[in-house]
Amino acid sequence: MRGRIFSGMRPSGRLHLGNYLGALQNWVDLQSDYECIYSAVDVHALTDMQGDVTKEIKPNINEMVLDWLAAGVDPDSSIVFVQSHVREVMILHSILSMVTPMGWLMRVPTFKEKVRQMHETEETVSYGLVGYPVLMTSDIILYKADTVPVGEDQLPHIELAREIVRRFNNLYGETFPEPQAKVTNNPVILGLDGKNKMSKSLQNHVELAYSEEETIARIRTAFTDPERLKRSDPGRPEICNIYTLQKYFNSDKLDEIYRRCTSADIGCVEDKQMLADSINEKLADFRERRRELADRTDYLEQVLGDGAAKARLIAQETLSEVLDRMNLSVR
């Protein structure tokens, strides 16, 4: 039997190269070997979008799902849906909250980091943020997925999901498979600042759907070797994130770029132009497909409606089983 994949992304709008190289590329490739379920996790987005800004969630979902489909996620073979459209996940989240010790949640490194980033304290932070990995676990196990393709930043969450599953299975009998993370060869893509993970909130990102001109302008802003002050100074590719990105987009010219950078035969400006040209060339088909899909009115709505209907069938079956096992069934 084919394994089952579940993965999700927060709807923060158009995706960037980090999302693509760290996860989306894998999502597309895995479709030939697994039954795949991909979700726009809008409830998770509420951990840092509150009040009026929630108006942005719907358009953000549309932009993100367009990226998925243009990159090759195939809604005829995979289930593509919006998290909140299958309400069973919220019930499972409440149930799993009862079997998850607070200590496990407070120790998750991403929790502490997020509290810091949001300028909150453990006193002021929402209960939902503490439970973020419990909701993530609910996403995965509601569909009894065994494999979860993600970037490296999500690994602590998957580890916690495995612990929650073990505890649930111990208490109520073997119900869920222990999910395994699956990272790509590029588990962390650094941003244009050259030191932090590429991320929209840090504004160090390159969106897949940028125009050619936007891509060139954006790559020009990237940090390179800070000790390369003059065009005639030799560069140090090993500490330059433009060189790292060249590995993904100019893999056939890597040796040449290394040699020409370290001998000052090319400067940072030319190096960046080569990278931007190659990104533009490699994403040309994606961008064209994205434009075509965006012009098809009602298409996204239809994909997400069909996806939710298919996801709901699996979710209802799992939830009935869970409620039965916990003696909460209405029958």
Residues that bind ligand TYM (CB under 6 A): 6-10, 18-19, 22-23, 41, 44, 136, 139-140, 148, 150-151, 153-154, 187-189, 197-199
When CB distances to ligand TYM are compared, the closest residue is: 22
The backbone torsions φ and ψ at residue 111, rounded to the nearest 5 degrees and listed phi first, read -65, -50
Q: CA–CA separation, 289 vs 321, rounded Å?
A: 41
Active-site residue, from 114, 182, 247, 310: 114
Task: State the minimum distance, in angstroms, from the CB of residue 214 to ligand TYM.
Answer: 19
Q: CA–CA separation, 31 vs 36, rounded Å?
A: 6
Concerning whether 197 is annotated as a catalytic residue, the answer is: yes
54 CB neighbour count, 10 Å cutoff: 12
Nearer to ligand TYM, 112 or 296 (CB): 112
Nearer to ligand TYM, 148 or 268 (CB): 148
Single-letter amino acid code for the residue at 187: P
The secondary structure of 130-190 as a DSSP string is HTHHHHHHHHHHHTT-SEEE--GGGHHHHHHHHHHHHHHHHHH-S-SPPPEEE--S----B
CA dihedral angle for residue 80, residue 81, residue 83, residue 87, rounded to 10 degrees: -130
Q: Find the helix packing angle between 284-295 and 57-71, rounded to 10°.
A: 130
Active-site residue, from 182, 197, 247, 310: 197
Concerning whether 247 is annotated as a catalytic residue, the answer is: no
Nearer to ligand TYM, 88 or 139 (CB): 139
Nearer to ligand TYM, 188 or 264 (CB): 188
Task: State the minimum distance, in angstroms, from the CB of residue 183 to ligand TYM.
Answer: 8
DSSP 198: P
Task: State the minimum distance, in angstroms, from the CB of residue 232 to ligand TYM.
Answer: 33
Task: State the minimum distance, in angstroms, from the CB of residue 208 to ligand TYM.
Answer: 12
Concerning whether 200 is annotated as a catalytic residue, the answer is: yes
Active-site positions read: 114, 197, 200
